[in-house]
């Protein structure tokens, strides 16, 4: 799953994934006021969950275990993690509602898709990035430190640090300035 090469799901993989989906179900059905219980579930579900990070319910994830949250990350409701390989969210990242981080994909070859073939490329969201509502980040993309991605953007390629970018496909619009 982590090689970037095409693979096929096995019964063993599906059984392991079921454990994480049960944890996700428990997180999503925990009362919002039960902060300690939710944090404990996220510690079990995710690869890491940094200090003072917070995820609004509901959360959607293929696995959970392949996603790594830094410190002070805020994710608004309906974050979707297609984390069939590593998704890294570094410190101080903010995500609006309905953000999708997608590390998993399928081959273009229709015969391979018919057999449920898949391959995965990691996603990295560097420190202090803001992802606006409805942003979709595709497999293999890195978004550079301090950058802001406008709402509704489809991020298909790497975004450098210290820029404002938006659109579908997402494009750099300007550099960030200190007084912005």
Q: What is the CATH number of the domain that holds 171?
A: 2.160.10.10
Q: What is the mean pLDDT of residues 152-166?
A: 98
Residue length of the chain: 180
What percent of the chain lies above the pLDDT cut of 90? 94
Q: Check residue 171 and give its pLDDT.
A: 98
Average pLDDT over residues 6-31: 96
What's the confidence (pLDDT) of residue 179? Answer: 65
CA angle centred on 27, ends 122 and 91, rounded to 5°: 45
- Cα–Cα dist 139/155, whole Å: 9
State the average pLDDT for the chain. 96
> What is the predicted pLDDT for the residue at 178?
76
Q: How many helices (H) and strands (E) does the chain have?
A: 3, 20
Look at the chain and report how many structural domains it folds into.
Answer: 1
Q: What pLDDT sits at residue 177?
A: 85
Residue 74: is its pLDDT beyond 70? Answer: yes
Answer yes or no: is pLDDT of 180 > 70. Answer: no
**CB contact set of 78 (below 8 Å; sequence gap of 6+):** 56, 58, 59, 60, 97, 98, 99
What is the extent of the structural domain holding 40? Answer: 7-175
Confidence of residue 88 (pLDDT cuts 50, 70, 90): very high
Could you give the residue numbers annotated as active site? 106
Q: What is the longest distance spanned by two Cα atoms in the chain? A: 54
Poorest-pLDDT segment among 8-12, 96-100, 109-113, 143-147: 8-12
Asked if the structure places residue 117 within a domain, the reply is yes
């Amino acid at each position: 799953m982590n090689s970037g090469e095409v693979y096929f799901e096995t019964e063993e993989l599906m059984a392991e994934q079921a454990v994480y989906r049960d944890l996700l179900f428990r997180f999503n059905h925990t009362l919002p006021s039960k902060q300690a219980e939710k944090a404990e579930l996220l510690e079990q579900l995710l690869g890491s969950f940094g200090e003072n990070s917070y995820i609004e319910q509901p959360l959607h994830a293929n696995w959970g275990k392949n996603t790594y949250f830094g410190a002070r990350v805020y994710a608004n409701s309906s974050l979707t993690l297609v984390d069939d390989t590593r998704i890294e969210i570094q410190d101080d990242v903010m995500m609006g509602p309905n953000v999708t981080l997608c590390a998993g994909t399928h081959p273009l070859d229709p015969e391979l898709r018919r057999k449920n073939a898949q391959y995965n490329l990691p996603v990295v969201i560097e420190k202090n990035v803001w992802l606006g509502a409805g942003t979709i980040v595709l497999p293999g993309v890195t978004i550079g430190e301090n950058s802001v991605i406008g709402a509704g953007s489809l991020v298909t390629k790497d975004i450098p640090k210290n820029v404002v970018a938006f659109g579908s496909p997402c494009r750099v619009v300007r550099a960030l300035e200190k007084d912005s």
